Amino acid sequence: MNSETSARDPLLIAEAWHAAGRSVAIATVIETWGSAPRPVGSHLVIDGEGNFEGSVSGGCVEGAVITEALDVIESGKAKMLEFGVADETAWRVGLSCGGRIRVHVERLG
């Protein structure tokens, strides 16, 4: 794997981090409704130190996903997260545009 490829593909980054012995979680956008900043299939990879690559939304949503991913790394239990305007925190997490997203977070390995 060359460094240019790994810099673009979060899944290759996750594979390299895992191979290097780092604890890794992968967050994947699995469903969107309305206006959503990233399409289904977008990935964010997070290691146990809070380093991350990729994107599932942007802004505060990614901060919330990173926090949840650290819990997933610790517990080993996958989580399903949903963010959107129906949620009372929509403005706070940056989805005031009218969309909703569902993100699956799981530990690698």
> From CA 40, how far away is CA 31, in angstroms rounded?
6
pLDDT at 90: 52
Q: What is the pLDDT of residue 102?
A: 95
Which residues does 37 contact at the CB level (< 8 Å), separation at least 6? Answer: 57, 58, 97, 99, 101
**pLDDT recorded at residue 93:** 53
Are the CB atoms for 84 and 103 separated by under 8 Å?
no
Domain boundaries defined on the chain: 3-107
Per-residue confidence (pLDDT) for residue 36, from 0 to 100: 81
Q: What is the structure's pLDDT at 60?
A: 80
- With a cut of 70, list the residues of the chain below it in pLDDT: 1-7, 85-98
The token pair at 40 is: 């289904």
pLDDT at 3: 53
Tens of pLDDT, residue by residue over 57-77, are 877 889 999 999 999 999 999
Q: What confidence score (pLDDT) does residue 91 get?
A: 53
